[in-house]
Amino acid sequence: MNNSITSLERVLTTLSYKEADRVPMFLLCTFYGAKMAGVSIPQYFSAPELVAEMQLNFLQKFGNDCLFNFSYASAEIEAFGGDTIFVENGPPNAGKPFIQTANDIHNLRVPEIENAATLQNVLKITKLLYNEQGEKVPIIGVVMSPFSIPVMQMGFDKYIDLMYYEPELFKKLMDINIQFCQKWANAQIEAGATAICYFDPVSSSDIIPTELYKKTGFQVAKQTLAGIKSPTATHFAAGRAMKNAELITETGTNIISASTFDNLEELKMKVNGKLTILGNLNGIEMCRWSANEAEIEIKKICKAAAKGGGFIIADNHGEIPWQVPEDTLLAISDAVKKWGSYPIVNE
């Protein structure tokens, strides 16, 4: 195998269900960059040049196979006029829901991306990354799915009620969110993103029954993904994928995330040749891992899912926790080179 293979070539090979030199590794570092840069999280995300610099740093330091433009989920909520709550050492969260009653949906409008400062920062990060490595390393953009973002827009309880009892208003909200999601995804692609991560945790069977998903999130995903002008990865943010996996293959996506609670061998059999699996390291347990434990986990998941391609190593939530030591990330990187190199060794 040619040692000069690029990360982009490595990823494209595994997406084709072929074996490259080794399994690709996506360490999805977001606010972790603030920790490494020694600044607060709000300072970090308000400085696109610094975010791009740290993403390139992750590339060199950990041997990462992607660049990640994502800041925080509620950046999209800010575009709708909502706000964000920042904490010292964890992911930012959406503030008070701006849809207080279902009837407020009548007044909701699709945000203009050019008027949203946080989204403009993400586009600037994307352009900076593309100018540096866009021909060699995949740049992963992110959207909140139209089906999952209402949890931040109106709160979980009101949203569940909307699904069951207000079908017309549910459809109106989905129409608005689909338009925004497609616009936002395609703006990132135009800025240089290679693919879009479609975060859709509400569609996991851990959150809603499969029968409800078939009528709602599944239909929304098919419509939304058809309008996104790049490959996509459907991510359940630590939610299980197994039960809905066969349906996910029909949405038009290319990659499916695996929870730490999913059986990788069984999931690979379900989606074999149809979807590439992304996962499934336990980010919470990762905070406590020794180098030896990291190696054991990498060896285990490579044995379970890496043969024949169609697999990318990543954490199962889509975000490396602040509390994970850098040494652990280095140990994961070393273990991927050792146990993720093809051909996969079973011993």
pLDDT of residue 4: 82
CA distance 317 to 327: 20
pLDDT tens for residues 285-332? Answer: 999 999 999 999 999 999 999 999 999 999 999 999 999 999 999 999
Confidence band for 24, pLDDT divided at 50, 70 and 90 = very high
The stretch 41-66 carries a mean pLDDT of: 97
- pTM for this predicted structure: 0.96
pLDDT value of position 2: 43
Q: For the chain, list the domains and their CATH numbers.
A: 7-339 (3.20.20.210)
User: What per-residue confidence (pLDDT) applies to 124?
Assistant: 98
Phi-psi region of 194 (alpha: psi -120 to 50; beta: other; left: phi over 0): alpha
pLDDT per residue as tens digits for the range 235-279:
999 999 999 999 999 999 999 999 999 999 999 999 999 999 999
- DSSP string across 15-69: HTT---SB--EE---STHHHHHHTS-HHHHHT-HHHHHHHHHHHHHHH--S-EE-
- pLDDT above 50: residue 91: yes
The pLDDT tens digits of the residues spanning 213-222 come to 999 999 999 9
Tokens at residue 6, please? 């690029």
The answer to whether residue 346 scores a pLDDT higher than 80 is: no
Euclidean distance between CA atoms 143 and 300, whole angstroms:
31
What is the dihedral sign for C-alpha 183, 184, 189, 190?
A: positive
> Distance (Å, rounded) from C-alpha 66 to C-alpha 182?
22
If you search the block for the tokens 């990462």, which residue do you land on? 64
Q: Give the percent of the chain with pLDDT over 90.
A: 97
Please tell me the predicted confidence (pLDDT) of residue 347. 61
Residue 1 has pLDDT above 50, yes or no: no
The whole-number average pLDDT for the span 57-81 is 96
User: pLDDT digit string (tens) for 118-165?
Assistant: 999 999 999 999 999 989 999 999 999 999 999 999 999 999 999 999
Q: What is the mean pLDDT of the chain?
A: 96
The pLDDT value recorded for residue 3 is: 54
